Amino acid sequence: MNEPQDGIACSACWDDALLAAALFAVDPAGAAGIVLRCRAGPARDLWLQALRGLLPDPTPLRRIPINIADSRLLGGLDLTASLRAGKPVADRGVLVESNGGVVYLSMTERMSAAVAGRIANVLDTGIVAMERDGLTLRSDVRLGIVALDEGIEENERCPDALSDRLAFLVDLSGDLTVASGPPAYDACAVAAARRLLPKVALGDEALHALCVGASALGVASLRAPLLAVRAARASAALRGRNEVVEEDVVVAARLVLAPRAMALPSSEREAPDASPPEAPQAEESEGAKQESFQDDDREIHADASLDEIVLEAAAAAIPAGLLTQLQLAGEAAIRTKATGKSGALKGSGLRGRPAGARCGKPGGAVRLNLVETLRAAAPWQKMRRMDGGREIETTTARRIIIRPEDFRVTRYKQRTETLTIFAVDASGSSALNRLAEAKGAVELLLADCYVRRDQVAVLAFRGAGPTLLLAPTRSLARAKRSLAGLPGGGGTPLAGGIDAALKLAEDARRKGQTPIIVLLTDGAANIARDGRPGRAKAQDDALGSARFARSRGFTMLLVDTAPRPQPFAQRLAADMKARYLALPSADPVVLSGAVRSAAAR
């Protein structure tokens, strides 16, 4: 979605971004929010300024930093106020303080699932439920969210838990022509629209069109059509109408549905949920769609049903290079699944990010968190002085009495370690060559994995089946020793090799590691899973294993080692959703670089 486009499309992008801002301003709580994908820069500043101009005056605007602690996000015990008052005083937290307003979330592409989950919960229930520090507080909260997403890579984005709930996904990361003319709407128009909004009616046809549109675009979540319905209402209100008309539905489809599209309605790649029979097949060329986007939709399609118009409007708003991007996005989605486990962060002594505090004794690898300890001790001071006896009264009258149970230690979290599994085709004559490459790459990876605390394993498959040459290790010495005498030659039991790599990966995942599979082969499978020779069956089995590999969602890299790129190897990579790399005369440096970049994604 960040392909640079021609100037006209870009100014249309900018207009849409502003329109999204206006619709959001009309109904912040209904639309729930906007994901603004754009790196910090003039375009973003301009857009934020425009949004501020659209919001009615006393709207609270708060910015929430990425590292916000639960005590500020949801509220908690206000330490200083509690000490002063001599009784517990609650700090209400940023979300409650922003009630009725708009919250900016910084750098959501780096946001943890935990914080996203908390905010999503508040959006769902309209309540901030605080059960913290001995305090219980429930506050009704209605707010709109602007999630700033500075991601560059395709899978570096605002958490799905959040973007699924926010109506508008605005992407300003391409080259933009930022129109500096007078804004189409102002705060007055927004205020008028807000008054009108509760009265805006939405007919069955519009509802139908938006639902069908979402399905045909492969948008699975039901929140999308619901948010589109709200956006259509806001659009009608903004234009001073008390009824949703076609134009509003088109706007909603373009701004809410199109950015979530997972499939083109007319494309041969079926939407994941096969488009329903009612869904119209928009059989038009890409160019025609682009045109219809520029012109007034209504004039061209006077006879078309609303469903079709919605689809076309949405399709037109999907950038041309979508299909390739869909693949990337699909890959990203699967990878997210794979790294779902890496969301489960490992607690470790001192490394990683601080992740709150817990009760515990300091010492050894555990560090005392002074502020949290004081916070824990503060409320009890008066009581401790009472039962603590006279000697405390006299000697430490002005000091804070801290007991062992007050000790809080800082918890740290660290990403789980990565296990890179090399599955090397050791068959035939070129085996020695390939194994040498793998060996070189393993050594290079191990050299820097001491820093990254990652592990490497090597599997070779030839003849009857796979052999584990190097069990998962971090030790360079061990690797060198076991890789020294590598046997080669024989047939290619590709399916068996993939299966063995998967098993190893599965074990690693169960141990909390993040596995990466690197398959080095020329794809010339000729031994089936059951160990019998035969090319057709062997290839079939290999594809079966590949598809299963894909379902497990591991990060995978297929390195084609044949002198010329092989179609079967490519097909195998596609079926595995693996990254394909043709490396006929690879040297270990290139290979280890490729693996490292696969791991980094």
Partner 1 sequence: MSVSFPFSAIAGQGEMKLAILISAVDPALGGVLVFGDRGTGKSTAVRALAALLPAMRAVEGCRFGCDPAAIAAACEDCRKRRGQGPLKWRRIPVPVVDLPLGATEDRVVGALDLERALTNGVKAFEPGLLARANRGFLYIDEVNLLEDHLVDLLIDVAASGENVVEREGLSVRHPARFVLIGSGNPEEGELRPQLLDRFGLSVEVKTPQDIKTRIEVVRRRDHFDRDPAGFAAKWRGEDRKISKQVALGQKRLASIEIPDGVLETAARLCTILGVDGLRGELTMMRAARALASLEGDEVVTGQHLRKIAAPALRHRLRRNPLDESGSTVRIERAVAEVFGE
Q: Which is nearer to partner 1, 41 or 276 (CB)?
A: 276
CA distance linking residue 377 with residue 359, whole number of Å: 12
3-state secondary structure of 435: helix
- Find the shortest distance in angstroms from Cβ 204 to partner 1: 8
When binding is defined by CB under 8 A, the residue of 3, 154, 160, 284 that contacts partner 1 is 160
Residues 451-490 that bind partner 1 (CB under 8 A): none
CA distance linking residue 567 with residue 560, whole number of Å: 10
Binding status of residue 281 toward partner 1 by CB under 8 A: no
In the numeric block, the tokens 């078309």 are attached to 304
At position 510, the amino acid (one-letter code) is: R
- The window from 12-20, 48-56, 296-304, 500-508 that contacts partner 1 (CB under 8 A) reads 500-508
- Find the shortest distance in angstroms from Cβ 166 to partner 1: 12
Binding status of residue 270 toward partner 1 by CB under 8 A: no
In the numeric block, the tokens 């973007």 are attached to 163
Burial category of 314 from C-beta neighbours within 10 Å (exposed 0-12, middle 13-18, buried 19 and up): buried
Residues 332-361 that bind partner 1 (CB under 8 A): 336-337, 340-341, 343-344, 347, 358-359
Binding status of residue 142 toward partner 1 by CB under 8 A: no
Binding status of residue 124 toward partner 1 by CB under 8 A: yes
Q: DSSP states of 408-420 as a string? A: EEEEEEEPPPEEE
Q: Which is nearer to partner 1, 376 or 527 (CB)?
A: 376
- Find the shortest distance in angstroms from Cβ 509 to partner 1: 9
Question: Would you give the binding string for partner 1 spanning residues 226-265, x where CB under 8 A is met?
Answer: x--xx-----------------------------------
CA distance linking residue 547 with residue 527, whole number of Å: 18
Residues 187-216 that bind partner 1 (CB under 8 A): 198, 202, 207-208, 210-212, 214-215
DSSP 65: -
Q: Which long-range contacts (CB under 8 A, 24 or more apart) does 121-124 make?
A: 122/95, 123/32, 123/33, 123/165, 124/165
Q: Which is nearer to partner 1, 199 or 298 (CB)?
A: 199
At position 206, the amino acid (one-letter code) is: A
Size of the site for partner 1 (CB under 8 A): 78
CA distance linking residue 325 with residue 369, whole number of Å: 45
Binding status of residue 295 toward partner 1 by CB under 8 A: no
Residues 6+ apart with CB under 8 A from 496: 461, 465, 466, 527, 529, 531
Residues 12-51 that bind partner 1 (CB under 8 A): 30
Neighbours of 493 (CB within 10 A): 30
CA distance linking residue 46 with residue 208, whole number of Å: 36
- Find the shortest distance in angstroms from Cβ 52 to partner 1: 27
Residues 6+ apart with CB under 8 A from 323: 264, 267, 269
When binding is defined by CB under 8 A, the residue of 153, 278, 393, 448 that contacts partner 1 is 278
Closest CA to 590 of 393, 438, 432: 438
Binding status of residue 73 toward partner 1 by CB under 8 A: yes
Q: Copy the structure tokens of residue 552.
A: 């497990």
- The window from 118-126, 313-321, 436-444, 479-487 that contacts partner 1 (CB under 8 A) reads 118-126
Closest CA to 133 of 83, 87, 78: 78
Residue 32 Ramachandran class (φ > 0 left, ψ -120 to 50 alpha, else beta): left
Residues 75-114 that bind partner 1 (CB under 8 A): 76, 86-88, 113-114
Binding status of residue 286 toward partner 1 by CB under 8 A: no
Residues 521-550 that bind partner 1 (CB under 8 A): 544, 547-548
Q: Which is nearer to partner 1, 23 or 445 (CB)?
A: 23
Q: Which is nearer to partner 1, 211 or 578 (CB)?
A: 211
3-state secondary structure of 490: coil
When binding is defined by CB under 8 A, the residue of 22, 120, 311, 543 that contacts partner 1 is 120
Q: Which is nearer to partner 1, 423 or 524 (CB)?
A: 423
Binding status of residue 118 toward partner 1 by CB under 8 A: yes
When binding is defined by CB under 8 A, the residue of 15, 273, 393, 530 that contacts partner 1 is 273
- What's the number of CA atoms in the CB half-sphere (13 Å) around residue 427? 24
Residues 548-577 that bind partner 1 (CB under 8 A): 548, 551-552
Contact 104, 64 (CB under 8 A): yes
The sign of the dihedral angle between the CA atoms of 80, 81, 85, 86 is negative
Q: Which is nearer to partner 1, 232 or 581 (CB)?
A: 232
CA 94, 34, 339: angle at the middle one, nearest 5? Answer: 85
- Find the shortest distance in angstroms from Cβ 310 to partner 1: 13
Binding status of residue 404 toward partner 1 by CB under 8 A: no
Q: Which is nearer to partner 1, 347 or 354 (CB)?
A: 347
Binding status of residue 74 toward partner 1 by CB under 8 A: yes
Binding status of residue 143 toward partner 1 by CB under 8 A: no
- Find the shortest distance in angstroms from Cβ 91 to partner 1: 13
